Amino acid sequence: MPKRRAAPRNDSEKLCDRNGDAACGTFFPRYKGVLAATPFERSEIRLSTVARPSDSNVVLVFHSAVLRDPFAFLVGFGAGSQFVACYIVLGNRHDLMPYVKTAQVVALAGAIGAGVAILIDLGHPAHIMAMLMGPNPTSALTWDMIALTVFIIIAIINLIAVARQSKLLKFWMVLGLISAFALQLVEGLLFALMEARVWWHSFIMPIDFIVVAVVCGLAVAVIICALKHDEFKPEALHDLSFLLAVAIIIHLALAIIDLLIVCFGGSAADGGALAALGSVWLFYALELGLPLAAVFVLLRGKNDPTKNMLIGGVLVVVGMFFHRLMLLYPAFASPTLYVPLSNEPSPSWPLPASTGLYDHTGNAFEIAQGYIPNFFEWASMLLPLGVALAVFLVGTWFVGRMGKSLSTTGAQTFDASHAAASDEAVVVDEIDDEPIDGGIVDEVAVKEAVATDKKEKSQ
């Protein structure tokens, strides 16, 4: 009998053979069966997974966004407040100096809250120990852990230096500036180096992370200084508003450039990211629209900036929340792997996962499935925010107590020096203007007389 000729192998089957069963059978169960199916069957599966994007809802990716959004949100405010504190101290802005203590407390609170969010996202204490005991120097997550830890340590030292009015405050502020810059740079690279996520894989990402941190820090400064406007001059408040407006404009320009890069990318992954972005276009409009509205509000308050600062700062904080949310959703909601199929009219096919359903009521493979976070997952999001609030309250109490103790010590020193000067004046008066050494009062004799007088009083 003549031998049966083997069917031509398409690119997907070659991909499966090249990567082995681990790639096709473990991560995507029974995917090899799909590759061996007829073109009609593959078309049916493709229709069930790709042609109905309404099945791929927000709820699948919302779990990941719920856990990661507090981290990205808090780390921006922590590093940004450190930038503001360094600007005030190193720039010798004495008119803004009362805000330094609050800025340093916010920097520490945001960093610790972000660290708690990372611990929750790791999911298990064993994962934490694995990172500590066996760090991988080629992993961006390892450098993220190092940068965040160093930042927290320097923020604590800076807080003590500010509270004690240390002479080395400028030195520690320089280290704080470097650590905040390094933290945001590493955070940006942590996202930008992920090639599978086209929404993140851009050279704009690390730059925008630094700019967004400045925006977040200035937004908090604007709100708090507006609430305590009696402690600041109007010129100082106007400077803060102007700096915040400039930082917002730079951030919006970078965001538009990043969007244009994805729009003109032309790949299937770029199209998937844009489709995910379009499904929540309202959130993206709020991300860009609220900070833009804040720019006009901040620049209009020249004569009485307090009210405009308060409104503009709140608009920026809400806009930054949507910014962090939209940083995550388009990346997680869009497929990451695309397989070219030679038998299909579409050049690329999103790689699905098996659902375990093989009857007529459900799809065998899906890009996404419906999911609603439970109570514990919502609590996981609120825990880092609660920890950050607790650290802020404790830090504020600590700074206030240290300030009172320094004031008491200064008052006691002043009273002692004032008493010594009074004693010297009394002794000089007791000398009764007797001329000594040609009519000049001998200072040594005065000091000896003061000492003798104190000794007699103590006896």
pLDDT in tens, 199-234: 998 999 999 999 999 999 999 999 999 998 888 888
Number of other residues whose CB lies within 10 A of the CB of residue 218: 27
pLDDT in tens, 352-394: 766 666 666 566 677 666 667 778 777 777 888 899 999 999 9
> What is the overall mean pLDDT for the chain?
76
**Choice among 81-85, 215-219, 446-450 with the minimum mean pLDDT:** 446-450
Residue scoring higher pLDDT (282 or 196): 282
Give the Cα separation of 316 and 212 in Å (integer).
Answer: 10
Which of these, 191, 199, 148, 109, lies nearest to 384 by C-alpha position? 109
Tell me the C-alpha to C-alpha distance, in Å, between residue 300 and each of 145, 303, 312, 335. Answer: 42, 9, 10, 44
pLDDT at 152: 95
Could you tell me how far CA 296 lies from the centroid of its own chain?
Answer: 25
Q: How confident is the model at residue 435 (pLDDT cuts 50, 70, 90)?
A: very low
Q: How confident is the model at residue 40 (pLDDT cuts 50, 70, 90)?
A: very low
CB-CB contact of 69 with 325 (8 Å)? yes
Buried b (16+ CB within 10 A) or exposed e, 110-146: bbbbbbbbbebeeeeeeeeeebeeeeeeeebeebbbe
Q: How confident is the model at residue 347 (pLDDT cuts 50, 70, 90)?
A: low
Which of these, 5, 159, 198, lies nearest to 81 by C-alpha position? 159
pLDDT at 183: 94
Which of these, 44, 33, 60, 22, lies nearest to 349 by C-alpha position? 44
Tell me the C-alpha to C-alpha distance, in Å, between residue 143 and each of 80, 133, 202, 223, 247. Answer: 19, 14, 19, 33, 27
Handedness of CA 267, 254, 179, 127 (dihedral sign): negative
Q: How confident is the model at residue 156 (pLDDT cuts 50, 70, 90)?
A: very high
H or E segment to which residue 455 belongs: helix 443-458
pLDDT in tens, 394-416: 999 988 888 776 666 554 544 44
3-state DSSP helix/strand/coil % of the chain, to nearest 5:
75, 0, 25
pLDDT in tens, 106-150: 999 999 999 888 888 777 778 778 887 888 888 878 888 899 999
